[in-house]
Amino acid sequence: MSKLRFPEGFIWGVATSSYQIEGAWNEDGKGESIWDRFSHTPGKIEDGTNGDVACDHYHRWREDIALMKSLGIEGYRFSVSWPRILPRGRGEVNQAGLDFYSRLVDGLLEAGISPFLTLYHWDLPQALQDEGGWPARATVEAFAQYADVISRHLGDRVKHWITHNEPAVAGFEGHLTGRHAPGIQDWNAALRAAHHLLLSHGWAVPIIRGNSRDAEVGIALNLVPAVPASASAADFHACRHFDGYLNRWLLDPLYGRHYPADMVASYMAQGHLPAGGLTFVHDGDLDTIASRTDFLGVNYYTRRILRDENAPDNLPQTTFPAPDSERTEMGWEVYPDGLYDILNRLRFEYQPRKIYVTENGASYSDRPDTDGRVRDHRRVDYLRTHLAAAHRAIQNGVPLAGYFVWSLIDNFEWVKGYTQRFGIVWTDYETQERIPKDSALWYKDTIAQNGF
Ligand code: FCB
């Protein structure tokens, strides 16, 4: 492979989120979050664990910044725990919570690392859940206060803001499949939640701009390219429907196109929406949601191949079963071209002004060898091939400005608990020792050369 060089100024980063790494779940005035409640509920997390301690980053943040600095990391995407700042979700501010993030941001800047701050990576204050959570419109107002408090305190130093991480997951895994907190299973609640997540993004954008001069503001979506399993009409339809459910339902309103009409019709036909349709959409909401952003964050892991199993006349039979693709330990197909596809599609269909890959990475559990080294070569291959795909997209004119590996360190992987390791740095959960894996060393070289 010839040498790949990335554009000058390209940001090489790593990503984490509050609940997955911080621990200190009830310290210094922090309120309970829906993930505290959910993970403390027996049967919800596969290995019966929780994020009470996680990577203990709340106490080890200095060490973690030093680690990033030693790898040459240029951007750190982290999230703020809302209930650390507003223990009851709205109203009284917890100064200790603000101080923690303020010190973290100062430490990052001292280390020459740009903070990319995500306001919401799923840890809603439980107090707001008790008042209805995201399906309730009042939560949007609470989020606006939260966005204001944070951006007023950190806006002088943080210049990259992400309102939400993966509203589709928060909306649909949280309220439709119930696999995530708060564990609700209800179509109407899920669609309301997704709408309020988007609306709260739209409300927050001008608030953040007002408090943080010259800041870049965006949102991070999990985008999954969909492919029909065969040339049959039924599979094509299933594919289009999945794309509408997961990708277009968010992208279309964010880019000024209203909710996709085919999906609204389908949801109404299936009784997922009441007879009145999108009754939770008020006048002006769609303009708010479409407020101009500076970038789109793309979280990319894999693609989906869709087959309509319920159509009796679904012929021809499957012609595209993703033959013997490699899979990560999450069971996700390794498919670097999907990143290329989604970046190009965004450029042609939605034209974001700028894109960051805000998450990309792989779960492999390679552990330290007897010599203490973690030889995670499959992760190196994953990162290299996905970065090569991103590079091709840049050459096609995609305005990709940076890339964030998920994740800096092994951490609490939601319903999977600690069974999945996404880090380029090994976390020893007994001792809290961090060991940079071979992938971290490879990434360090890549950053130093601005390519590989
Ligand atoms: C994404 C989440 C992130 C992490 C990765 C593996 O959906 O945003 O927190 O769990 O998946």
Give me the half-sphere count of Cα atoms (radius 13 Å) on the Cβ side of residue 133: 24
Q: Is residue 5 part of a domain?
A: no
Indicate the helix (H) or strand (E) that contains 77: strand 75-79
Give the Å distance between the CA of 121 and the centre of ligand 1.
9
2 pLDDT higher than 80? no
CA-proximal residue: ligand 1, atom 10 (nearest): 413
Q: Is residue 3 part of a domain?
A: no
Q: Which residue has the higher pLDDT, 260 or 1?
A: 260
Give the Å distance between the CA of 354 and the centre of ligand 1.
22
pLDDT of residue 316: 82
Least confident window among 220-224, 318-322, 409-413: 318-322
Residue 323 confidence class, pLDDT cut points 50, 70, 90: low
Q: Is residue 413 part of a domain?
A: yes
Q: Is residue 1 part of a domain?
A: no
Q: Is residue 255 part of a domain?
A: yes
Give me the residues paired with residue 120 across strands: 164
Indicate the helix (H) or strand (E) that contains 107: helix 95-110
Q: Is residue 2 part of a domain?
A: no
430 pLDDT higher than 70? yes
pLDDT of residue 319: 73
Give the Å distance between the CA of 234 and the centre of ligand 1.
31
Cis preceding-peptide flag for 182 (omega within 30 of 0): yes
Closest atom of ligand 1 to 420 CA is 6
Q: Which CATH number does the domain housing residue 283 bear?
A: 3.20.20.80
Mean pLDDT of 205-232: 97
27 pLDDT higher than 70? yes
Please give the tally of structural domains in the chain: 1
Q: What is the pLDDT of residues 181-190, one digit of tens each?
A: 999 999 999 9
| Ligand 1 pocket member 169 (CB < 6 A) | yes
Q: How far apart are CA 439 and CA 340, in angstroms?
A: 22
Q: Is residue 332 part of a domain?
A: yes
Predicted TM-score (pTM) above 0.95:
yes
Mean pLDDT of 365-381: 98
User: pLDDT over 70 for what percent of the chain?
Assistant: 98
Q: For this structure, is 166 an active site residue?
A: yes
Q: For this structure, is 333 an active site residue?
A: no
C-alpha 408 chain-centroid distance: 14
Q: Is residue 226 part of a domain?
A: yes
- 10 Å CB burial of residue 191 (0-12, 13-18, 19+) is buried
pLDDT of residue 318: 67
Cβ atoms 307, 238 nearer than 8 A: yes
Q: Which residue, chain included where needed, has tokens 């943040």?
A: 61
Domain that holds residue 419: 11-449
| Ligand 1 pocket member 414 (CB < 6 A) | yes
